[in-house]
A and B are shown apart, each in its own frame.
Chain A
Amino acid sequence: KNEVEQSPQNLTAQEGEFITINCSYSVGISALHWLQQHPGGGIVSLFMLSSGKKKHGRLIATINIQEKHSSLHITASHPRDSAVYICAVRHGGAQKLVFGQGTRLTINP
């Protein structure tokens, strides 16, 4: 079992739908990151959070430390949101990230 588990692995939806991607981890963390990997391979950091909720445009990230779970939501999804979304965690003072396997999201027009 991976330390960081994402679900679903693949998600296809229609434009406009509300999207939820889940991330669960097994060991206590100091921070959780959500990353976006574009079809061309480039990776962009979306959020870093250690508690509560953050919002940026149509993206919302939440984390529940007690349940060791985070969700990434996309409202009013658009085909340009199609990408792989990756959850990654940091433990204690360590700098390295431990990654989930990613969720491939496809938004059809």
Chain B
Amino acid sequence: GAGVSQSPSNKVTEKGKDVELRCDPISGHTALYWYRQRLGQGLEFLIYFQGNSAPDKSGLPSDRFSAERTGESVSTLTIQRTQQEDSAVYLCASSRYSGTPYNEQFFGPGTRLTVL
């Protein structure tokens, strides 16, 4: 079956523009996660969805960042008024929600965002 897909794979934008990044999780996976990886740095958690609600959005770095999920499927991460420090690879992952910490996360290929 298909894995987690993300689009676009690469996005170059100018400072101040808004961008939307898309994630299509594995079918049937109710949990969805967004992470960020800046160049040369480790992964950072951004937000977690269970179904269409986001019980943990503690990692969103500012109010310029928002995310939504519809139909317990596709999710969109929106960054408004992009800044150069937003340049990073944005990774999406999904998992079956089992109510325990032991559910494996499956990662997408990521979207590389470059803000000029």
Minimum Cβ distance to chain B for residue A101 (Å): 4
B89 adjacent to A102 (CB under 8 Å): no
Q: How many A-B residue pairs have CB under 8 A?
A: 58
CA distance A94 to B33 in the complex (A): 12
Q: How far is the CA of A94 from the CA of B48 in the complex (A)?
A: 10
* A86-109, CB < 8 A from B: 86, 88, 90, 92-102
- Judge whether A96 and B44 touch: CB under 8 Å: no
The residue that B102 contacts in the complex, of A35, A50, A100, with Cβ under 8 A, is: A50
From the candidates A35, A86, A90, A101, name the one contacting B101 in the complex (CB within 8 A).
Answer: A90
Please determine whether A100 and B42 come into contact, CB atoms closer than 8 angstroms: yes
A95 to B48, CA, bound (A): 7
Given A95-B56, A102-B42, decide whether A43 and B101 contact each other with a Cβ distance below 8 A.
Answer: no
Q: Tell me if B105 counts as interface (CB < 8 A to partner A).
A: yes
Inter-chain contacts of A92 with B (CB < 8 A): 101
Q: Contact check, B59 vs A96: say whether CB atoms are below 8 A apart.
A: yes
Count of A residues near B, CB < 8 Å? 25
Partner of A50, one of B101, B104, B105: B101
Residues of chain A with a CB closer than 8 A to B43's CB: 86, 88, 97, 99
Is the C-beta of A31 less than 8 angstroms from some C-beta in chain B? yes
Task: Report whether A94 and B56 are in contact in the complex, using a CB–CB cutoff of 8 Å.
Answer: yes
Which of A45, A97, A102 is within 8 Å of B45, CB to CB? A97
| Residue positions of B touching A, CB distance < 8 A | 31, 33, 35, 41-45, 48, 50, 55-56, 58-59, 89, 91, 93, 97, 101-102, 104-107, 109-110
